[in-house]
Structure 1
């Protein structure tokens, strides 16, 4: 695995000119593993990669050609998860005392999935031994804070340019996800924090577009959106945040992590979804229906 350097922590893919009020974000598709992290881990090979949102940055890569920026992490989620509060830290993982401002009691910490995760998918422990507290805090300073600074700049710029903005936080979900009361396996899940992070009309439009394309799409269950969706979604200020989960089984082999033959077709469908979302927003931008609610 290639070595990660500071300037490679994440990439902002920019269109020549931003022409639509969207920002796309892929925080969990990073696949460059720091060698010192691999040395600390009891996992290796495919096992350490189980928590990646595999190739989601590529699935949504055409956002740039459509006129929107795409922020994509290069660091892996197993190393640090930017879809958390900055200091959701598990004291059981560290030698020494965490600072008093650390959130040690969140449900995500209890589940092993804090800002610095304790496990990857399938409850596999990452570390062979405890980490120094300072190392955890250093990761937040060196990785988490610059990433969110870049995301804030993109959102603020979009809001200033268009008078409102739509953040699409892009993720993937395991192929075995099932939803109570639904017979079909969901291909996509749209999360809006139960109507608090985005206009209900925008969420319904996303679901309708996906269903018209032939996909099974549902809203909020079991993924309503994480910290990023909750933190940046402010519909009353004209800032809307949707989380989109793509079922991995439709585009990747979950055992080998290799792309399926259908990968290109799924990416093309995602492009169509993004294009139709932009058209929907443009339709309502004239009367500022999304600018503030």
Structure 2
């Protein structure tokens, strides 16, 4: 399957002229190119099928390369393939034939229709008009999922080798109707660190405090603690930190039309400040960590 008549790669790394900071930014769900064959196989219209996108998140974090960090961006959409899952979380209800024995068919994400090859987009809308061949799903995993993760691993390993530690910021957006359990509070941002297992508490607290100082309502881990990427790549005891950031998309997108709001540039500017202040904190964090080890 070609991407934009062969000229658009399925994902890209937007590199700085020289990496000068121990950060890697990742936008795995902001892909906006829907292959014609995929749309033809779907029962959804061209707007409805976009409901699972992290709309324009790659643009919100577009300053990362000029600040000195690589930004990995998926062009394929989450509805087509979700790289924030295990490689083979697959729903047998979707397929004409039997799945291989190594497929994880019992995860909560599969049960909810949101496996590696999703069955639904947001609001429980079924994607496909009919069952698909297993070979189609496996080919997406081979052609897209595995190369994407190989690229992300290289970026993290390079960063860790150069600086002695690395911070992965996994960038996402969430629906505007998300509320904190037991309250009417609508968070503007959620920082996920897998309940303290994917990044140091100091980094998580710094991210929260920076966002709060910028005037946002920011919370930690609830209801989103981080997905497969955060869990898989975060190893803080080895100096490999991973934070997920969820942005309330109603801040910057009209959720009915999926068009940018007038405040889009305001949110983008705030996230540029967030990145700059996280970089400043990481410098202090690195010095303190070095002194503690001596």
Please give the TM-score of this superposition, normalised by the length of structure 1: 0.97
Structure 2: distance between partners of 1:275 and 1:175: 26
Indicate the SS of the match to 1:168. strand
Match of 1:218 in 2: 219
How far the C-alpha of 1:283 sits from its partner, in A, is: 1.2
Q: C-alpha deviations, 1:133-188, integer Å up to 9, x for none?
A: 11110010001001001100100000000000000000000000000244431000
Indicate the SS of the match to 2:130. coil
How far the C-alpha of 1:13 sits from its partner, in A, is: 0.1
Q: C-alpha deviations, 1:47-93, integer Å up to 9, x for none?
A: 01000000000000101111000000000000000000000000110
- Is the CA contact 1:57–1:72 (under 8 Å) kept in the aligned structure 2? yes
Do structure 1's residue 64 and structure 2's residue 68 form an aligned pair?
Answer: no
Match of 1:115 in 2: 116
Consecutive unaligned residues of structure 1, counting only runs of 5 or more, are none
How far the C-alpha of 1:289 sits from its partner, in A, is: 5.5
Match of 1:83 in 2: 84
The change in CA–CA distance for 1:216 and 1:6 in structure 2 (over 3 A counts) is same
How far the C-alpha of 1:5 sits from its partner, in A, is: 4.0
Structure 2: distance between partners of 1:66 and 1:220: 27
- Is the CA contact 1:4–1:75 (under 8 Å) kept in the aligned structure 2? no
Match of 1:95 in 2: 96
Structure 2: distance between partners of 1:268 and 1:4: 33
Structure 1: distance between partners of 2:292 and 2:152: 20
The change in CA–CA distance for 1:236 and 1:6 in structure 2 (over 3 A counts) is farther
Count of paired positions: 291
Indicate the SS of the match to 1:142. helix
Structure 2: distance between partners of 1:226 and 1:187: 19
Structure 2: distance between partners of 1:285 and 1:192: 19
Structure 2: distance between partners of 1:193 and 1:215: 21
Q: C-alpha deviations, 1:266-291, integer Å up to 9, x for none?
A: 00000000000000010121233699
How far the C-alpha of 1:95 sits from its partner, in A, is: 1.0
Q: C-alpha deviations, 1:254-276, integer Å up to 9, x for none?
A: 00001000000100000000000
Structure 2: distance between partners of 1:124 and 1:291: 51
Match of 2:206 in 1: 205
Q: C-alpha deviations, 1:220-276, integer Å up to 9, x for none?
A: 000000000000000010000000000000000000001000000100000000000
How far the C-alpha of 1:6 sits from its partner, in A, is: 8.4
The change in CA–CA distance for 1:6 and 1:232 in structure 2 (over 3 A counts) is farther
Please give the TM-score of this superposition, normalised by the length of structure 2: 0.96
How far the C-alpha of 1:112 sits from its partner, in A, is: 0.1
- Is the CA contact 2:114–2:120 (under 8 Å) kept in the aligned structure 1? yes
Match of 1:13 in 2: 14
**What pairs up with 1:70-219 in 2 under 5 angstroms?**
70-219=71-220
